[in-house]
Amino acid sequence: MSAMPSAVSIREVGPRDGLQNEDPVPTEAKVRLLDALTATGVGRIEAVSFVHPKAIPQMADADEVWKAASKNPQVRYSALVPNSRGAQRALDAGFTEIEVVVSASDTHNRRNLNRSTDESLDDIAALIDLLHNAGARAEVIVATSFGCPYEGDVDPARVASIIDRVVADGADRVAFGDTTGMATPPRVVAVVSRVRERHPDLPILLHFHNTRGTALANVYAALQLGVTEFDASVGGLGGCPYAPGASGNVATEEVVHMLHDMGIETGVDLAALLDAARLAQEIVGRELPSGVLRAGPRLPDMR
């Protein structure tokens, strides 16, 4: 295990992954949340997804949201797409960082995308070429990397073989999704170590859910492995519409609070982030699961 990193990059996924699992909210409310998160100092934001409105009606206004949002050139904004058609929409909207998802679990992939994992990987190879030809970067997110609600445990070797394929096809970076919060620290170590052995220089990001209360422990385990990029969602918003029991993502303010207490820089203003979390709570009209949002930071002046 390596020494703890001195700084971590967080990608805020509340505007996309968070809101896609909620009742649809007005466009202007999405823009307000996106702008509030931009003002926190977070380095990366997953802003929207370009999907068919019948599949995810919560994202039907992606173009309108992105046009109205305040863009900060210091923030890296990304969009999620399901296929080449969505990728072209994202490119037309001006995105240069684009994500696509494939599930390590074949059953989950069929529920999510109506095709097998291998079929999705074939599609992704063509999508990567499309993005690169347009000057954009492609990130492949491997969902159910740590377990599947339909199939149970997922072999780290299967996850690693998917990474082998997407790297060979030109993926610029990869992410591992804990889609239903089945990850525990030993499972994080098993997956990350297996991939790092084969691709030591590949940029990786981890995406944890707190469904079973292990998200911060998993972040800590990943930090010990030298991982410096994580997804998190303001207030703990989110889940997965195609995975039973997938409660919210790890709350951004909980991750930032822990990292700052450890002396690890994030660039995020915790007070501004808590303001954004309160706004998110107001927008969705219910109490969000974040402990730091409820209790506040351990010290009043923590930034």
Q: Which residues are catalytic?
A: 240
Contact indicator for 225, 219 with CB cutoff of 8 Å: no
Distance set, CA 302 to CA 12, 66, 97 (Å): 20, 32, 32
3-state secondary structure of 50: coil
Residue-by-residue DSSP string for 234-257 = GGG----TTSTT--PBPBHHHHHH
The CA distance from 42 to 110, in Å, is 34
Burial readout 222-258 (b: 16 or more C-beta within 10 A, e: otherwise): bbbbebbbbbbbbbbbbbbebbeebbbbbbbbbbbbb
The C-alpha angle with vertex 63 and arms to 112 and 277, in degrees rounded to 5, equals 75
Bridge partners of 230, per DSSP, are 10, 206
HSE-CB at 163 with a 13 A cutoff on CA atoms is: 28
